[in-house]
Amino acid sequence: MTTDLAELGELAEALATEAGELVEEMRAPLAIDGLEANATTKSSPGDLVTAADRAAERAIIDGIVATRPTDAILGEEGGQRAGTSGVRWLVDPIDGTTNYVYDIASYSVSIAAEVDGVLSVGVVYNPKTDTMFSGLIGSGARRNGVTISCSTASDLGTALVATGFGYVAERRRGQAEVLAHLLPEIRDIRRFGSAALDLCAIACGQVDAYYERGLNPWDLAAGTVIAREAGATVGDLRGGQPSPEFVLAANPALFLELRERLTDLAADQRP
Ligand code: IPD
């Protein structure tokens, strides 16, 4: 089985487009019948999941299996498969489900492929705005086919910083404490509500940095490839790879200073 990255990227874009269409079609009843009838919760009352999350993940997994039956898969809504090809897909069928439910145009289908354990392909598609972000390791990042790059701003005091919050109350309290210290020291904060799109916002210079504690691998995988290919640095607070413990993405001129500040605030050590 080929591991041609361009082919993996084309498959990811096709599947993200198809899943995005399904997600948009399935939103109509939500608008008519309302939240209670159409969404249930997972880890906390704030952690929503809809029939569209499940149907989109099913469609993506079916599409991968039909084309590449020996690849491994990890999906947010429980889709998991072992593989033998060295390729593993990480799938978030709707990243930003809360926005989807409330009809706020910041949600995305996020599909990444790791090759031999290395994040190599990332596709993040916002079906509401019909915006496709893509990145292939070593080949740059694109928004609707046009090359994008991260900002060059180097002053933390005037940096626009995106972040997000977990679903569990105790974690949120810790995240709010970090934010209470950081907010007076930067230009402003943005909370868009889709980690995958936050990382794409870094990639196209809409924000200068993004950090969050407690993401899942499927939230951050595709956006990490895209942000890196746009020139951003993406890691944790200890010199390692981004992980559920912590992800910090920033243009290289800001990364170390912000990492130091977040380390001082113990941002990766709170609940
Ligand atoms: C969530 C979003 C949100 C982030 C949360 C994630 P979901 O993903 O990415 O921006 O702050 O931590 O869990 O639940 O909508 O797939």
| Contacts for 129 with CB less than 8 Å, ≥ 6 apart | 105
Boundaries of domain holding 248: 156-264
| Mean pLDDT computed over every residue of the chain | 94
Tens of pLDDT, residue by residue over 204-260, are: 999 999 999 999 999 999 999 999 999 999 999 999 999 999 999 999 999 999 999
130, 147, 164 - which closes a domain: 147
CA separation for the pair 256, 31 (Å, rounded): 44
Query: 203 and 135, same structural domain?
Result: no
147, 169, 192 - which closes a domain: 147
Query: 143 and 184, same structural domain?
Result: no
Amino acid at 129: T
Cα 220 → chain centroid: 4
Spot the catalytic one: 60, 94, 111, 148. Answer: 94
Please tell me the predicted confidence (pLDDT) of residue 38. Answer: 64
Q: How confident is the model at residue 37 (pLDDT cuts 50, 70, 90)?
A: low
2 C-alpha to center of ligand 1: Å? 32
Tens of pLDDT, residue by residue over 123-167, are: 999 999 999 999 999 999 999 999 999 999 999 999 999 999 998
Q: Would 270 be classed as within a structural domain?
A: no
Q: Would 269 be classed as within a structural domain?
A: no
93, 115, 147 - which closes a domain: 147
Spot the catalytic one: 92, 114, 198, 212. Answer: 92
Burial class (CB in 10 A: 0-12, 13-18, 19+), 42: middle
Q: Would 27 be classed as within a structural domain?
A: yes
Query: 170 and 215, same structural domain?
Result: yes
Please tell me the predicted confidence (pLDDT) of residue 51. Answer: 87
CATH code assigned at 177: 3.40.190.80
Q: Is 76 a catalytic residue?
A: yes
Ligand 1 contacts (CB < 6 A) are 76, 92, 95-97, 164-166, 193-195, 212, 215, 219
The tally of domains found in the chain comes to 2
pTM, 2 dp: 0.95
Q: Is 97 a catalytic residue?
A: yes
Query: 115 and 212, same structural domain?
Result: no
